[in-house]
Structure 1
Amino acid sequence: MPILDRRGFLVGATAAVAAAPAGAQTLPSTVQLRDDISESTRRNTHSFLSMDWREHFRSVGSGAILVDIDSRVLHFWDRAGDYRIYPSSVPSSEELTRRGRTTVTRKVVGPSWSPTPNMRRRNPEWPAFVPPGPQNPLGTHAMYLGWKYYRIHGTHDRRKIGRRSSSGCIGLYNRDIAEVFAMAPVGTQVRII
């Protein structure tokens, strides 16, 4: 994965260290952003670099996922402590948004999908079941969370990323969910803010 332009990253990282509050733990210098990341995600990333993430997790030693609904970004720390940022889709309304702490409880490659009872009431024309494949709204990989019906998953519809477009789940580009999926074991802590 190409990293953010070196000069831009060094300037941002230097500013983040200088701006960090006393006692704040700054993020490692291994932050990587692909070339196709939107400008708003880049800005959000730079502002996040100066935050003290310890308020969200006691430790990231076993891996951690933090989803920021407002900035539409998934932050991921792997077991080695390396940090990555991924643009995401988020729930389309506050009523569909669940915030708090949970964990990854199950992982599925090639997930099938069935709309929830509430989705079926809102959209009775939707099919009751969609098998794995290009029409499946869960994309190529899904990580099920400790909350019923909530997942972090891929999407075949690239237009959804960076938008409020889901019925409650967090969506990633298929290549990004494949990467997170490979590095986040069942039990990985998840916080949605």
Structure 2
Amino acid sequence: MSLLRWVLRLGLLWLSLAATPVFAAAYDMPPPGSDIVGQVQHIKTQASDTFVALARKYDVGYRELRLANPDVDPWLPGDGTPVVIPSAYVLPNVAHEGIVINIPEMRIYYFPPEDSEYHGKVFTYPIGIGRQGWSTPLAETKITQKIPHPTWTPPASIKKEHAEKGDPLPDVVAAGPNNPLGQYALRLGLPAYLIHGTNKPQGIGMRVSHGCIRLFPEDISALFSMASVGTAVNIVSEPYKVGWQGKQLTMEAHPPDANGDAPVKSYTPWVQSLIAATQDNPGAPVGWERAETVVQHSDGMPHTIGTDPSREIPSDDTADNTHDGGPD
């Protein structure tokens, strides 16, 4: 790579770090019988755009953008390049309460309780997760402590890692702009694990942490203000999410996280997910070849894999948030 290209990349990275989000991540819960929130967006880039900047602006993860736009240069997409913003989501197939973290999706969902002013909404944010060797565990736990302006006491293993790289850490990192935990942290019942902010927002949507869950600074600020001590936290692995959008059966596929994926059972995992999602409707119109294509592409967006014209749906369920492009 030429020196000029590296200079351009560094300059665009600095611009992207100053980016601020302009799109909210709050959605009305879908009506009974529907499972999708949000809507895929289609934009054209400006010359100064990078995927790091676009991720922050649209509140999506870096990898989400890469999966949805595999043929676009993430650092120099160019002026006027069409880009898909993957901002439609099949809700995870678990209880919609408290905080749900889907590791392969690199995304967190918050379902406020009935006594909250936000009840009936779902909030969803991209996350950074544990890198190889520091996998974020799958577990059911809860928030045990809310910590504003946290200090950070690096464990011995992380201090050793930094020392070996010639970057020694102090015994305690004071609260402030240089603190890796950011401005807010939610301690979990899992020993040594937190949901927290970051002083390196460019890593959101990547496997960058030592196992903790990182959010953009503005996202952890919002979540911190809503979630309370005792809030349930369910960390799951659902690389293949299946749900209904009106009369359409949809599927959303993500590359499985090899270190955090659920154990493989008797079926190929995506087949098992599809069977489980349609077990209450044995006549569901599953297009198996279409579903396999969606899995092969794994672009992280909902795609229609079948239509049931006879399916009864609420009269106000008219929105269609599925992505019409993508794999065929």
TM value normalised by structure 2: 0.46
Q: Does 1:139 align with 2:148?
A: no
- Please list every run of 5 or more consecutive structure 2 residues that lacks an aligned counterpart in the other structure: 1-21, 39-55, 66-84, 114-118, 237-328
Contact kept? 2:129, 2:135, Cα under 8 Å: no
The separation in 2 between residues aligned to 1:35 and 1:56, in whole angstroms, is 29
Change (3 A) 1:130 1:95: closer
SS at structure 2 position matched to 1:93: coil
Relative CO higher for 1 or 2, CA cutoff 8 Å, sep ≥ 6? 1
- Please list every run of 5 or more consecutive structure 1 residues that lacks an aligned counterpart in the other structure: 18-22
Matches within 5 A, 1:41-56: 43=86, 46=88, 48-49=89-90, 51=91, 53=92, 55-56=93-94
Partner deviation per Cα, 1:118-175 (whole Å, 9 max, x = no partner)? 2123223222210100110000000000011100000121111111000010001111
Q: Does 1:66 align with 2:104?
A: no
Match of 1:112 among 139, 151, 154: 151
In the alignment, which residue of structure 1 is the partner of 2:122?
83
Matches within 5 A, 1:2-17: 2-3=23-24
Change (3 A) 1:161 1:95: closer
**Superposed displacement of residue 96, structure 1:** 2.9
**Superposed displacement of residue 2, structure 1:** 3.6
Runs of 4+ in 1 over 4 A off after TM superposition: none
Change (3 A) 1:120 1:75: same
**Superposed displacement of residue 77, structure 1:** 1.0
Number of equivalent positions: 167
RMSD, matched Cα: 2.9
Report the more deviating stretch, 148-157 or 116-125. 116-125
The separation in 2 between residues aligned to 1:181 and 1:27, in whole angstroms, is 25
AA aligned to 2:193 is Y
TM value normalised by structure 1: 0.74
The separation in 2 between residues aligned to 1:87 and 1:121, in whole angstroms, is 29
**Superposed displacement of residue 184, structure 1:** 0.4
In the alignment, which residue of structure 2 is the partner of 1:26?
35
Sequence identity (%): 28
In the alignment, which residue of structure 2 is the partner of 1:20?
none
Q: Does 1:98 align with 2:141?
A: no
AA aligned to 1:111 is P
Q: Does 1:156 align with 2:199?
A: yes
